Structure 1
Amino acid sequence: MNNHLVYIVFGVSGSGKTTIGRLIANQLGCDFFDADDFHPQVNIDKMAAGIPLNDKDRKDWLERLAELLGQIEKGQSVVLACSALKEKYRQALIKHSQIAIQWIFLEGNYSTILNRLSQRTRHFFKPELLHSQFNDLEVPEYAIRINVSKSKNKIMEDVMNQIGLEKNKVGLIGLGVMGKNLALNLATKSTSLSVYNRELKGLEENIAKDFCNENKELSINGFDNLESFVYSLSLPRKIFILVKADVLDQVIDQLIPLLQENDIVVDLGNSQYQLTRTREQKLNDIGLRFLGCGISGGEEGALNGPSIMAGGKKEAYNAVSEYLKKIASKDKSNYPCCAYLGSGGAGHFVKMVHNGIEYAEMQLIAEMYQVLRKLYNLDPIGISKIFAQWNQSELNSYLLGITEKILKVKEGKDLLLDKILDKAKQKGTGGWTVQAALELGVPISSISEAVMARSTSSMKNMRVKLESIYRFNSQKSDSEFEEDELAKAYKAARILNHIIGFEMLRQANSQFRWEIDLSEVARIWTKGCIIRSNLMEEFVSTFKNLNSENHLLQLDQVSENIRTSISSLLKFTGHGISYGISLPVFSATANYFNAMVESQSPANLIQAQRDFFGAHTYSRVDRPEEEIYHTNWTI
């Protein structure tokens, strides 16, 4: 973007030379000089007294500026803001210069400039001197002329267009670990990129500039000034945001005054889907476009290719899909793991459910580890070998693979895992999933139990105290260790957990009228994301051509797998619990299955109880369901 020129922004006092000059310098990433800072004190005093400068007053001042410009070497750029009203002043300025000069004249009529001067405070130039400046002004034909009667944003657009600086195609805000990796991902895919990170003294300083210096071989321009960052982007602007949820709205509010109609803002963070819907409506109402895109894959995925779940207006997605598909992981057929899922918060909703499934998948593996180690007395290396074998089978998954590696890592002679405090943290997406399920009336027992398991783990001190009161002597299983049965139990629980998550997507899609294709969701989750697995590959075909009215447990491929493994799950769960092992997610999947395949539940008793104490009424099996009844139960 840097053309290696000296840019001299000139015009009468009050035309905006300093403001526009600084913005240009920020855009170029070069030094800025204000000619007013080079005036001797006698000149400042004279102007402050309302006395115009003459040529003699300007002589030494112009010489100092000429010496400054003469020191600029080839390969450098600087921006100078200077009145330079007469041609002889301009020639005096550049007499020592060794590189090309680009003159930028800021023009405005007398009344416009006078109005600006009257609003300016703490400046030595008096408004009554403006007449003398207009009298001295000689406008050269070689200068770029910029009308200053427009907004600052429009002025900068005109400047950028006329000086011919090539604009970048995509902007990214937020250079945390994920942001940096996504920026590198984009830049290595032949995408010219602008990056911005806020400046917080003592905390976040020179983040963007340092990042660019570390990656000079890539087409990345770094900014710590938001205005300059925005001006560096081609229209319509495409701005990706990767910041913490608690500052996202603040960043959006700062962006809005700088944007133009049809510019696109893309939230790539973990946002609550209902807030995403609100933000989309807010920006749409003022002519801007907004997408909420969930991304999964962690740091490695951000760099090498995440799974991307997009939500918002289709035309906004179409405008940025080229870049989203560039950075996405590729499935086995080399198609991008990126999909449009519907309007509003659809993308973040799907990402939220992804994380809910992830919570339960992690908990299932942890529970299996606990059974193998505590109940069957296997050492971590032995458990790692079992997980490695499973990972070479239909049970293959990213999470199982990393767990197999974790179980082999030692610190000295000790297992590193044993030195990690057993208090699992969470960022909120699991809880959001549970809350959304409650609002939708969808059972997600495996996910809710995984969230509660993390909450229970946080109560470490209390658990230590209660163990001393209640824990019976540790017992080992009195049955033989049957790896095949454990594998089947794990298989059934995994399938049911995924069915629970995908069922939530199916029902939400129906209620919100989104465009979620479960087969397509499974496809974009086959690579890049945290829950990628062989099972997800199977689901791509399993979920094709779904009947929207059918529960996923009704699918032939699902029922076939469940029938061959459910008895192992029920046996495993009961056996583990009877020996004092907590198996919340295994139990939840087993209970979900039992409840879903039981035609007569005890909910009729619950309805009778509700009617007894609260006259909540009930329906009858021998009458139309829309008819309601109440009984005086005390008679």
Structure 2
Amino acid sequence: MGVSGVGKTTVGKLLSGRTNLPFFDGDDFHPEANKQKMASGNPLTDKDRSSWLQALNDLANKEQERKGAIIACSALKEKYRIQLKKRLQRIYFVHLEGSFELIKERMVKRTDHFMPTDLLRSQFETLEKPNDAITLSVEFSPEEIVHNIYDILFNPSEFGVIGLGVMGKSLCRNLAQNGFKISMYNRHVTQLEEKIAIDFKSSYQELSDAKAFDDISNFIHSIATPRKIMLMVNAGEAVDKVIRELQPMLDAGDVIIDGGNSHYKDTYRRMVQLKESSVHFMGVGISGGEEGALKGPSIMPGGAMEAYKEVGKYLETIAAKDADGTPCCSYLGPEGSGHYVKMVHNGIEYAEMQLLAEAYHLLKLQHKNPDEIAKVFIAWNKGELNSFLLETSIDILKKKEGDDWLIDKILDKAANKGTGNWTTVSSAALGTPSTMIASALFARYVSAFKEERQKGALLLGGESTVPNFSIEDLKNAYQLARVINHHQGFELLKAASSNFKWNLNLNDIARIWTNGCIIRSRLMKTLSRSMKSELPLLFETDTVALVRNTKASLRSIVRVAIDNDISLPCFTEALTYLNGISTSDSPANLIQAQRDHFGAHTYQRVDKEGSFHTNWKNDPL
């Protein structure tokens, strides 16, 4: 399709020879009255075209019963294309487009057509560009155009990726390295994002067979049905925008996979929205950063099992592998469960990072330089405390810029992208005390107030002192605080699973987190075995023994912080939570009595069943 003069007939005949499908020139089906009208320089009306379009639709339906056909037809308006589609099970529009100047130049050279060049302007004015057509520029040769059409329609990809940022590019390379035929798309923004996919394809040998697009319709048509399309775009409105663009072009049974850090409630909303079109939507958490996405990330899929059956082999193939060689990817549950699990992963990550930052802070206050602190962390990393985040911290501490350590040049303001906030909000909504995640989140918020902290140091700070503690106590305190953090994270997952009826397998989640992800560690490998028990982590026999052996160290570190006016929110909260969860008789009875006093909220008693309310006002003396 396209305006007169774009070469529809030439391309159609060449494509017919390539595919062995019959070719028909739509112009041959015009009634004689139409041809005479155009030859006299008068454009056709919609009424003139009606019988012509019907004849072409009848032709297409007849050929569909055989093996299909190629038809050249201007099809300039959307309502024309709707008429051409009637009763057809599958139709592809290929829009040949070019500038007015280029097409006019070609038409002037044409001598064997009834349509005069003077009518070209009216055709451009009539043209309503299709949103769902394969669109190719006539600046390419007819042979190149045919090659592109054939490649898109007759040599389809297995899997598509939208969004070629750092993570999207790494996942594309991972898929290609594992032998999958992929299509890649990145939007075209003039002077900002141009030829991103094409340039990326040419940069890596493994992408030689991949298809690269900056036209989303061509991208969609290049993928075999049912299509599997992963979105690697920023969470929020960007995801909704892409979905709105995709939805009209998708078929029933296609699967959209959101691989970003979307909120689980947004994932559920999108799932419901797309279900109306019988299109599947999956929320899939992906952890591991740029390197993990390339070499094997931890993948947390949620959504309909029917959809997972379509995409599971791709996700499991590119995922990291656990100690037994099993993919660190497994179907987790329905709705937004995959993104919820990733959210909690990130919450645990927040507290893990904060604990390491606090340990670094204490050691720095003892006047240890980054190399000396790195040596402490290296010793820890050789044993039970081994983790990716500890290894990351060692790399950072050892990095120099000239003769200076780079860490000393970094401003002490930590940013966040929202997942720690979402975890804290969900924890509060479910009534589950993920207090260490919340403390880590608010520690980042406090860090952002740099100017206020500088003023506070002058007005409110005490004299600087060198804290006196042993490395062994710090190590023990860190070990115990990490276990408490993981306990809280898994208890939150347990509460969500029960509340949303997701039936999450905590043991499998821990296993998925043993490799590829940011919180992978030796501890997680232990948890992947112990999570088979129904007991909370803190009540497991091994954990009880750990608490008894290391609590004194945690208490000692917190005492040092208090005595020296040092802020250690996560270490302190770990001890506070541990004391709270191991206190059988708390002061909450007074709080409940206060609630009943001013709000008649009632209370329960230890000596009687039921709910009670009391008039708490004492009789006047």
Common fold by TM > 0.5: yes
Q: Is 2:533 the partner of 1:519?
A: no
Q: SS state of the match for residue 521, structure 1? A: helix
What letter corresponds to residue 594 of structure 2 in structure 1?
Q
Q: Is the 8 A contact 1:153 1:258 kept in 2?
A: no
Q: Is the 8 A contact 2:157 2:222 kept in 1?
A: yes
In the superposition, relative to structure 1, how do residues 417 and 217 fare at CA in structure 2: closer, same or farther (>3 Å)? closer
1:446 to 422, 433, 436: 436
State how far apart, in whole Å, the 2-side matches of 1:305 and 1:244 are: 21
What letter corresponds to residue 472 of structure 2 in structure 1?
D
Alignment correspondent of 1:208? 197
Q: Is 2:105 the partner of 1:105?
A: no
2:44 to 126, 133, 146: 126
Q: Is the 8 A contact 1:35 1:82 kept in 2?
A: no
Alignment correspondent of 1:228? 218
Offset at 1:335? 0.8
Offset at 1:308? 0.4
State how far apart, in whole Å, the 2-side matches of 1:112 and 1:389 are: 84
State how far apart, in whole Å, the 1-side matches of 2:512 and 2:93 are: 38
State how far apart, in whole Å, the 2-side matches of 1:180 and 1:317 are: 23
* Structure 1 residue ranges (4+ consecutive) displaced by more than 4 angstroms after TM superposition: 99-104, 106-114, 127-134, 141-144, 157-164
After superposition, give the CA deviation of every residue in 1:335-393 in whole Å (9 maximum; x if it has no partner): 1100111101110000000000000000000001111111x222221111000000001
Q: Is 2:71 the partner of 1:82?
A: no
State how far apart, in whole Å, the 1-side matches of 2:421 and 2:356 are: 20
Q: Is the 8 A contact 1:407 1:415 kept in 2?
A: yes
Q: Is the 8 A contact 2:320 2:515 kept in 1?
A: yes
Alignment correspondent of 2:246? 255
State how far apart, in whole Å, the 1-side matches of 2:577 and 2:349 are: 18
What letter corresponds to residue 200 of structure 2 in structure 1?
F
1:555 to 540, 543, 551: 540
Q: SS state of the match for residue 90, structure 2? A: helix
State how far apart, in whole Å, the 2-side matches of 1:249 and 1:197 are: 16
Offset at 1:164? 6.6
Q: Is the 8 A contact 2:344 2:493 kept in 1?
A: yes
Which ranges in structure 1 are unaligned for 5 or more consecutive residues? Answer: 1-16, 19-33, 38-79, 118-122
State how far apart, in whole Å, the 2-side matches of 1:102 and 1:341 are: 46
Q: Is the 8 A contact 1:171 1:233 kept in 2?
A: yes
After superposition, give the CA deviation of every residue in 1:573-602 in whole Å (9 maximum; x if it has no partner): 121221111000011111111000101111
After superposition, give the CA deviation of every residue in 1:450-501 in whole Å (9 maximum; x if it has no partner): 0000000000001101111122221113x4x422221111100010011010
Q: Is 2:21 the partner of 1:36?
A: no
Which ranges in structure 2 are unaligned for 5 or more consecutive residues? Answer: 36-40, 72-80, 95-133, 135-148
Offset at 1:409? 1.2
TM-score, normalised relative to structure 1: 0.78
State how far apart, in whole Å, the 2-side matches of 1:438 and 1:143 are: 60
1:403 to 383, 388, 393: 393
Q: Is 2:452 the partner of 1:462?
A: yes
State how far apart, in whole Å, the 1-side matches of 2:349 and 2:89 are: 44
State how far apart, in whole Å, the 2-side matches of 1:203 and 1:576 are: 50
2:490 to 502, 508, 514: 502
In the superposition, relative to structure 1, how do residues 282 and 111 fare at CA in structure 2: closer, same or farther (>3 Å)? farther
Q: SS state of the match for residue 491, structure 1? A: helix
State how far apart, in whole Å, the 1-side matches of 2:67 and 2:540 are: 72
2:259 to 264, 268, 277: 268
What letter corresponds to residue 338 of structure 1 in structure 2?
C
What letter corresponds to residue 154 of structure 1 in structure 2?
R
In the superposition, relative to structure 1, how do residues 268 and 153 fare at CA in structure 2: closer, same or farther (>3 Å)? farther
State how far apart, in whole Å, the 2-side matches of 1:438 and 1:112 are: 69
Q: Is 2:159 the partner of 1:170?
A: yes
In the superposition, relative to structure 1, how do residues 132 and 613 fare at CA in structure 2: closer, same or farther (>3 Å)? closer
2:560 to 572, 575, 585: 575
**Percent identity at matched positions?**
42
After superposition, give the CA deviation of every residue in 1:303-349 in whole Å (9 maximum; x if it has no partner): 11110001111111111100000110011111110011110111000
Alignment correspondent of 1:627? 611
Give matches, 1:427-446, under 5 Å.
427-446=417-436
State how far apart, in whole Å, the 2-side matches of 1:316 and 1:131 are: 42
Alignment correspondent of 2:368? 378
State how far apart, in whole Å, the 1-side matches of 2:280 and 2:268 are: 12
Q: SS state of the match for residue 339, structure 1? A: coil
In the superposition, relative to structure 1, how do residues 573 and 111 fare at CA in structure 2: closer, same or farther (>3 Å)? farther
Alignment correspondent of 2:169? 180
What letter corresponds to residue 339 of structure 1 in structure 2?
S
What letter corresponds to residue 5 of structure 2 in structure 1?
D
Q: SS state of the match for residue 270, structure 1? A: coil
Please identify, of 152-161 and 276-285, the stretch whose mean Cα deviation from structure 2 is larger: 152-161
Q: Is the 8 A contact 1:104 1:143 kept in 2?
A: no
After superposition, give the CA deviation of every residue in 1:412-444 in whole Å (9 maximum; x if it has no partner): 222111111100000000000001011111101
Q: Is 2:583 the partner of 1:598?
A: yes
Q: Is the 8 A contact 1:146 1:155 kept in 2?
A: no
Offset at 1:215? 3.0
Count of residues in Structure 1 that have an aligned counterpart in Structure 2: 537
Alignment correspondent of 1:145? 69
State how far apart, in whole Å, the 2-side matches of 1:367 and 1:132 are: 78
Offset at 1:528? 0.5
2:416 to 426, 429, 436: 426
1:616 to 601, 604, 616: 601
After superposition, give the CA deviation of every residue in 1:506-560 in whole Å (9 maximum; x if it has no partner): 111111111311111111111100000000010011111x22xx43322222222
Offset at 1:613? 2.1
Offset at 1:202? 1.8
Please identify, of 563-572 and 207-216, the stretch whose mean Cα deviation from structure 2 is larger: 207-216
Alignment correspondent of 1:195? 184
What letter corresponds to residue 520 of structure 2 in structure 1?
R
State how far apart, in whole Å, the 1-side matches of 2:440 and 2:254 are: 40
Q: Is the 8 A contact 1:356 1:447 kept in 2?
A: yes
Q: Is the 8 A contact 2:484 2:574 kept in 1?
A: yes
Q: SS state of the match for residue 434, structure 1? A: helix
Q: Is the 8 A contact 1:105 1:143 kept in 2?
A: no
What letter corresponds to residue 604 of structure 1 in structure 2?
N
Q: SS state of the match for residue 194, structure 1? A: strand
State how far apart, in whole Å, the 2-side matches of 1:163 and 1:200 are: 23
Offset at 1:198? 1.0
In the superposition, relative to structure 1, how do residues 286 and 131 fare at CA in structure 2: closer, same or farther (>3 Å)? closer
What letter corresponds to residue 92 of structure 2 in structure 1?
M
In the superposition, relative to structure 1, how do residues 126 and 433 fare at CA in structure 2: closer, same or farther (>3 Å)? same
After superposition, give the CA deviation of every residue in 1:594-629 in whole Å (9 maximum; x if it has no partner): 0001011111111112222222221111112x4232
Offset at 1:154? 3.0
In the superposition, relative to structure 1, how do residues 575 and 133 fare at CA in structure 2: closer, same or farther (>3 Å)? closer
Alignment correspondent of 1:542? 530
Alignment correspondent of 2:340? 349
Alignment correspondent of 1:277? 268
Please identify, of 593-602 and 515-524, the stretch whose mean Cα deviation from structure 2 is larger: 515-524
Please identify, of 198-207 and 553-562, the stretch whose mean Cα deviation from structure 2 is larger: 553-562
State how far apart, in whole Å, the 2-side matches of 1:573 and 1:460 are: 24
State how far apart, in whole Å, the 2-side matches of 1:498 and 1:258 are: 43
Alignment correspondent of 1:337? 328
1:490 to 478, 500, 512: 478
Q: SS state of the match for residue 393, structure 1? A: coil
State how far apart, in whole Å, the 1-side matches of 2:527 and 2:476 are: 18
Q: SS state of the match for residue 567, structure 2? A: coil
Q: SS state of the match for residue 156, structure 1? A: coil
What letter corresponds to residue 467 of structure 1 in structure 2?
A
Q: Is the 8 A contact 1:294 1:348 kept in 2?
A: yes
